[in-house]
Structure 1
Amino acid sequence: MFTFFCAFAILKSKAQTFRIFDKPIVFDQERENLSLQYLKSRHGIEKETATIEPTMVVVHWTAVYSLESTFEVFNPVHLGGRPELTAASNLNVSAHFLVDRDGTIFRLLPDTTFARHTIGLNYTAIGIENIGGPDAPLTKAQVKANADLIRYLNKKYKLTYVIGHHEYYAFQGTPIWKETDPNYLTQKQDPGPKFMRKLRKRLSDLNFKSKP
């Protein structure tokens, strides 16, 4: 049975109230060390703490169809069962936020903690995962929740880019792209053009960029 911490934040976004429930994944010393190694080996960045300076949000879908199962995927420190990714690092994938199908928002990591979710951009990107995928299209409630959350994050960090995971290829070959292996890429289709069109319509007044 999925449980979450009682702590939550009540936030104002575009004159509306919404909540972020805290459900932290494991981020112990081992995960921090693996994150620091990833920053150095994959992004060419040496840091004392595994933190990021956000300039963008990358929106994903989970392709895992329940909140409980998705949390179980992200929570372990080590990545398992994905040889195309473990060759680059044994650090598990994760994201900062997870949005359930009814629009409930869970915070898995602090906004500025490093998370492995988008090749070449992890060092500067906040990741938002949405429960759903090809067999369960994302919902109207998730569109609204993502828009509210991104407005909140923009107030904190003055973001420049909001992209779908399937759009990350556009950053290759630019100064923003930091991946030491030019052949390390994965093919992504999430969350898809339809979802991003709906999300961008709600955020049109903020003039976020979708490409460099």
Structure 2
Amino acid sequence: MPIDAAGLLDSAQFIASPNCDERPAGTEISLLVIHNISLPPDEFGGNGVIELFTNHVDPQAHPYYQTLQELKVSAHFFIRRDGAIIQFVPCMKRAWHAGVSQWQDRERCNDFSIGIELEGSDTTPFTDAQYTVLAALTQCLCDRYPIKDIAGHSGIAPSRKTDPGPCFDWRRYAADVNRGDLFHAAGHASIGHERP
């Protein structure tokens, strides 16, 4: 999974999102943030997430979409249920995935993180293909950037977010990545750590 100088993954489909900007000068990419998303909620396989991240949501397409009209969000990567990867923002740019957030006394996690969205929900187990691809992508990103930690969206915005949710198997993910140091402060009871 080579990544070029701009931070584009060669094995991903690239669909450019306008919802990004430059990272602050001199900022190192040190955090991976794991999310889940499905649009409409709990429905998989459609184009809702692509439409959201490219500002093309049709508010008439689903009642839930009425709440998304003014939202400007993105992530670097989106992993489909079948393991296909779509990249929306080059890694060297700042994607708008974390919102108001804090990690280990640092605010504005978008500045120094890469956001990975898994097609899923808090109530649906993720697929084997997603775990396999997520582990490979994580290893690739850790080889390319000085990643020090991995956290869920719930770990950086606990009062607002619950994803990747109770169905995400942190123990399996940590074992697949085989880099225990990245999870030391992740705050996941399933791998025996307390929330920072």
Partners of 1:61 and 1:133 within 8 A in 2: yes
Counterpart of 1:100 in structure 2 is 80
Distance in 2 (CA, whole Å) between partners of 1:26 and 1:194 is 26
Amino acid at match of 2:33: V
Partners of 1:99 and 1:106 within 8 A in 2: yes
Instruction: Name which of 17, 26, 49 aligns with 1:70.
Output: 49
Instruction: Name which of 72, 93, 116 aligns with 1:128.
Output: 116
Distance in 2 (CA, whole Å) between partners of 1:67 and 1:124 is 30
In the TM superposition, what is the alpha-carbon distance from 1:52 to its structure 2 partner?
5.7
- CA 1:164–1:187 in 2, change beyond 3 Å: closer, same or farther? closer
- CA 1:189–1:26 in 2, change beyond 3 Å: closer, same or farther? closer
Amino acid at match of 2:160: T
Q: Where do residues 117-196 of structure 1 align in structure 2 (5 Å cutoff)?
A: 117-118=97-98, 119-120=100-101, 121-169=109-157, 185-192=159-166, 194-196=168-170
Counterpart of 2:94 in structure 1 is 114
Amino acid at match of 1:25: A
Partners of 1:20 and 1:104 within 8 A in 2: no
Amino acid at match of 1:56: L
Partners of 2:30 and 2:112 within 8 A in 1: yes
Distance in 2 (CA, whole Å) between partners of 1:206 and 1:132 is 25
Counterpart of 1:176 in structure 2 is none
Distance in 1 (CA, whole Å) between partners of 2:66 and 2:112 is 26
Counterpart of 2:6 in structure 1 is none
1:24 aligns with 2:15: yes
- CA 1:191–1:19 in 2, change beyond 3 Å: closer, same or farther? farther
Amino acid at match of 1:74: F
What secondary structure is seen at the aligned counterpart in 1 of 2:12? strand
Indicate the percent of aligned positions where both proteins have the same amino acid: 22
Distance in 2 (CA, whole Å) between partners of 1:58 and 1:148 is 15
- CA 1:96–1:52 in 2, change beyond 3 Å: closer, same or farther? farther
1:201 aligns with 2:180: no
Unaligned 5+ segments in structure 1 are 1-9, 13-17, 40-46, 171-184
- TM-score, normalised to structure 1's length? 0.64
State the superposition RMSD in angstroms: 3.3
Runs of 4+ in structure 1 over 6 Å off: none
What secondary structure is seen at the aligned counterpart in 2 of 1:20? coil
The total of aligned residue pairs comes to 162
Distance in 1 (CA, whole Å) between partners of 2:146 and 2:120 is 28
